[in-house]
Structure 1
Amino acid sequence: METIYALSSASGRAGVAVLRVSGPRARAALEALTGEGVPRPRMAALRRFSDPETGAALDRGLALFFPAPASFTGEDVVELHLHGGRAVVTGVLSALARLPDLRAAAPGEFTRRAFENGKLDLTEVEGLADLIDAETEAQRVQALRQMEGALGQLYEGWRARLVRLLAHAEAEIDFPDEEVPGDLIAKLGPEIARLQAGIAAHLDDGGRGERLRDGIEVAIVGPPNVGKSSLLNRLARREAAIVSDEAGTTRDVLEVRLDIGGVPVTLADTAGLREAAGAVEREGVRRALERAERADLRLVVAAPDAGDFALARPGDIRLLNKIDLGAEVPAGVIGVSAATGAGLDLLEAALAEKVGLAYGVSEHPLITRARHREGLRECAAALVRAGEGSEADLVAEDLRLAARALGRITGRVDVEELLDVIFRDFCIGK
């Protein structure tokens, strides 16, 4: 196994830069840079770092040593906490590059080694990536829960049950002359049904986890001159859109990114919906209709002097803008004034409630990626077939396919587990 190294903190000038080295030569690399032995495991020690070839001083910082297997990658790992100047980082990386049997790490290679050495399963790897990319509180909570194994533990629990079911089916096929209970296949039916129902309920989540991870879309729709762009600016708290009394000012879809109730939201201001006067405005209206159709939530805006709520559909938030002009606000409608900010707190509360209820963090682990959903659907379909089957070899094959589909999600597929369960449960061969 090669020893790899890389800058683990962000590139560019900073107060502190962290370099990581992982592999069998990590200890030797640290000793070469410092001329001293490694510090006590997991204890930071102040060290002077020098170029092993020239003896030139490179920096003075902290060194940490994590002996295998108690490290992120499961290998010997060294961390160097250096001053974050570009010249310091470049100098230390250059010195590492000249040491024997060391090479620069490929993108994601430290995490891949953690997976290959059993420190993380694939769902935890994905949770780590999501945690690094998290922009909102809800995203952070979901990613941290996944990185700590909540999703992987759920799927591994299901897979363990599947392995047991499959082992029992295999026992009836492979050891017909041994002392195993009769009619095993029929007895597996209720457990297969319970497992399939649990996975089906997990799948029936409305894409909540994926929406929280990727963000949701909210479209502002309505006729021209009702103040859609002004509302966008108010919600964004900046002048993101050009505002004019001239009808049809917005010709394209304008987006801003917001954090609403911890959920990442893309708020889209669309062109006013009317019979367009020219080709450019017609294209803007077409895009507005398309965006409104695929949005997760819509703010339908009218004004006392323009438009109505004919475009509204169930689940939309209906807004009457320009209430500073003295108009009466109908029941079920939120009155706002983009000019004065009146009613904006009510609008933001309604948005936070709808977004939070539909897409906020759940107390249960949620599906966060399309590949999870695909594997779970494949597993559930195989379980349905297994539950309807009566031939031991066909039932076993469907259970094997179901277990394999779950195993692909976490990255753990171990055929040896079948033999362990068979011999443990039935003491075959004594």
Structure 2
Amino acid sequence: MPPAAIAVVRVSGPRAGAALRALAGRVPATRRASLAELSDAAGAPLDRALMLWFPGPATATGEDLAELHLHGGRAVVAAVEAALAALPGLRRAEAGEFTRRAFLNGRIDLAEAEGLADLLAAETESQRVQALGMASGHVSRAVEGWQARLLTLMAGAEAELNFGDEEDVQLLDDCAHRLCDGMELLASELGAWLARPGAEVIAEGLSVVIAGPPNAGKSTLINALAQRELAIVSPVAGTTRDVIETPLALDGIAMRFSDTAGLRSESADAIETIGIDRAKAAVQAADILLWLGNPHDAPDHPRAILIAAQADRWRGDAAAEAVAARCDLTLSAATGEGMERLHRMIVDMARTLLPREGEAALRQRQRAALADAKDWLTVDAGSREASDLILLAERLRLAALALDRITGRAGVEDMLDTLFGRFCIGK
């Protein structure tokens, strides 16, 4: 948004060339920046700017495209926009309209558009890498490969149905067996993709919950992690009564850290009881649990880090030292002891929940479509369908339609309105 050093105004569509002629008196050489004096319809000067001309269809939107690189002051941009709006056939773009036109004109598919939306919203390194892979067509290329294999299987089924010898039962059985083998192999590959972490984990951040008994140092720890006074610290048991959440990024990984009410069997009042119930629910939903308390009392969680907290208070106490020996980490958020090691442990555990380098993660919509395709490709070897070419061909057709939903080639109008509304006007 202005003010800025440079502002780019883009015009897409059949009137793009006319817009350049109206403001600059000419259309420059294709794909070459040209300096121009811009004027409105009355001849009043607007700006001295660079203009570029990109004839369709080999453009970002698939249409004729013009760009004006202006000085980035608000008054300059407003004057040029007003001059363009006064020209016949031009109007201000809606949010996401340039990207939507690129999709409708076949320049990108829906998965790439979703990746671009995520790239614009990326705030951490892991979000940037994941979104860039999606926008660059990682998922789309995988879908194209699956679709090509499906087409091969479908062609084999149709050829046998249309041209095979109907009296040769053995030949039909052999064809059905080959189809089932191919479907099983493809379903297995789709299942491997579905087993990967979802893209929402990267976009929304991993949930890291700090839990333990009252006065265990939970609030002090989240304050130390956030490097600000996020939670109230008090020696009074039950001070924290609700889940306090803060977004943090560790080593480029988005996380949501939550401080919770102290867990104990008897609470002081009804309000604290509600807080304890919410704390238990947060522990259940946590991707990573930081437990500050006796390891014997720790909830059963697949990714728990057992922390002997407040080490500055119990050093030299034999009983406390014995409990600490059973923990994964000794820590003092007040003095900083163990904080660096905790940082490394959280990051190492978080990486096991994220896609490996080079792997693409699927969004919930894409996972649902892929799961449908896998279900249509899964056939019980002993069922009637396994030997019926017509039913197998129908399953292949339905699997192909499910994959089409990932790239946006069928039934996506409502989805488009939701998706492209996330973009800014300039995209």
Q: How does the TM-score come out when normalised to structure 1?
A: 0.86
Report what 1:30 is aligned to.
20
CA contact (8 A) 2:308 2:327 kept: no
- Please tell me whether residue 120 in structure 1 is matched to residue 115 in structure 2: no
Report what 1:372 is aligned to.
366
Residue of structure 1 aligned with 2:297, choices 310, 321, 325 = 310
Between the two proteins, the alignment pairs up a number of residues equal to 394
- How many angstroms apart in 2 are the aligned matches of 1:78 and 1:361? 40
- Please tell me whether residue 391 in structure 1 is matched to residue 396 in structure 2: no
CA contact (8 A) 2:287 2:303 kept: no
Gaps of 5+ in 2: 411-427
- Helix, strand or coil for the counterpart of 1:72? coil
Q: CA, structure 1 residues 202+14, in 2 after alignment: closer, same or farther (shift >3 Å)?
A: same
- The one-letter amino acid paired with 2:400 is A
- How many angstroms apart in 1 are the aligned matches of 2:3 and 2:157? 61
CA contact (8 A) 1:220 1:298 kept: yes
Report what 2:291 is aligned to.
300
Report what 2:77 is aligned to.
89
- Please tell me whether residue 166 in structure 1 is matched to residue 154 in structure 2: yes
Following superposition, the deviation at residue 14 of structure 1 comes to: 2.3
Moved over 6 A (4+): none
Q: CA, structure 1 residues 182+67, in 2 after alignment: closer, same or farther (shift >3 Å)?
A: farther
CA contact (8 A) 1:312 1:318 kept: no
Following superposition, the deviation at residue 210 of structure 1 comes to: 3.0
Report what 2:413 is aligned to.
none
Report what 2:398 is aligned to.
401
Give the stretch that moved more between structures: 342-351 or 83-92.
83-92
Residue of structure 1 aligned with 2:333, choices 331, 334, 338 = 338
CA contact (8 A) 2:209 2:286 kept: yes
- Please tell me whether residue 382 in structure 1 is matched to residue 376 in structure 2: yes
- The one-letter amino acid paired with 1:370 is Q
Gaps of 5+ in 1: 1-10, 414-430
Report what 1:418 is aligned to.
none
Give the stretch that moved more between structures: 278-287 or 349-358.
278-287
Following superposition, the deviation at residue 260 of structure 1 comes to: 2.0
Give the stretch that moved more between structures: 345-354 or 37-46.
37-46
Q: Which structure has the higher relative contact order (CA within 8 Å, separation 6+)?
A: 2
Report what 2:187 is aligned to.
196
Following superposition, the deviation at residue 308 of structure 1 comes to: 5.4
CA contact (8 A) 1:309 1:318 kept: no
Residue of structure 2 aligned with 1:187, choices 178, 203, 209 = 178
- How many angstroms apart in 1 are the aligned matches of 2:239 and 2:178? 69
Deviations 1:25-77 (A, max 9, x none): 11111121112x2222222222222212x222222222122221221111111
Residue of structure 2 aligned with 1:48, choices 37, 40, 62 = 37
- Please tell me whether residue 153 in structure 1 is matched to residue 141 in structure 2: yes
- Helix, strand or coil for the counterpart of 2:378? helix
- The one-letter amino acid paired with 1:148 is S
Q: CA, structure 1 residues 41+152, in 2 after alignment: closer, same or farther (shift >3 Å)?
A: same
- How many angstroms apart in 1 are the aligned matches of 2:355 and 2:205? 11
- Helix, strand or coil for the counterpart of 1:347? helix
Give the stretch that moved more between structures: 402-411 or 274-283.
274-283
Report what 1:139 is aligned to.
127
CA contact (8 A) 1:156 1:410 kept: no
Task: Kindly report the root-mean-square deviation, in angstroms, between the aligned alpha carbons of the 2 structures.
Answer: 2.2
CA contact (8 A) 1:261 1:355 kept: no
- Helix, strand or coil for the counterpart of 1:240? coil
- Please tell me whether residue 272 in structure 1 is matched to residue 266 in structure 2: no
Following superposition, the deviation at residue 175 of structure 1 comes to: 4.1
Following superposition, the deviation at residue 177 of structure 1 comes to: 7.8
- How many angstroms apart in 2 are the aligned matches of 1:278 and 1:195? 57
CA contact (8 A) 1:208 1:358 kept: no
- Please tell me whether residue 214 in structure 1 is matched to residue 197 in structure 2: no
- Helix, strand or coil for the counterpart of 1:281? helix
- Helix, strand or coil for the counterpart of 1:359? coil
- Helix, strand or coil for the counterpart of 1:401? helix
- How many angstroms apart in 1 are the aligned matches of 2:165 and 2:388? 18
- How many angstroms apart in 2 are the aligned matches of 1:276 and 1:357? 36
- Helix, strand or coil for the counterpart of 1:64? strand
- How many angstroms apart in 1 are the aligned matches of 2:267 and 2:68? 63
- How many angstroms apart in 1 are the aligned matches of 2:295 and 2:348? 24
CA contact (8 A) 2:198 2:364 kept: no
- How many angstroms apart in 1 are the aligned matches of 2:189 and 2:183? 10
- The one-letter amino acid paired with 2:39 is S
CA contact (8 A) 2:39 2:46 kept: yes
- How many angstroms apart in 1 are the aligned matches of 2:63 and 2:230? 49
CA contact (8 A) 2:311 2:332 kept: yes
- Please tell me whether residue 351 in structure 1 is matched to residue 346 in structure 2: yes
- The one-letter amino acid paired with 1:258 is L
- How many angstroms apart in 1 are the aligned matches of 2:290 and 2:269? 26
- How many angstroms apart in 2 are the aligned matches of 1:100 and 1:80? 18
- The one-letter amino acid paired with 2:251 is G
Following superposition, the deviation at residue 382 of structure 1 comes to: 0.8
Following superposition, the deviation at residue 78 of structure 1 comes to: 1.2
- How many angstroms apart in 1 are the aligned matches of 2:45 and 2:380? 67
- Helix, strand or coil for the counterpart of 1:103? coil
- The one-letter amino acid paired with 2:6 is V
- Helix, strand or coil for the counterpart of 2:297? coil
Q: How does the TM-score come out when normalised to structure 2?
A: 0.87
- How many angstroms apart in 2 are the aligned matches of 1:308 and 1:396? 56
Following superposition, the deviation at residue 386 of structure 1 comes to: 8.7
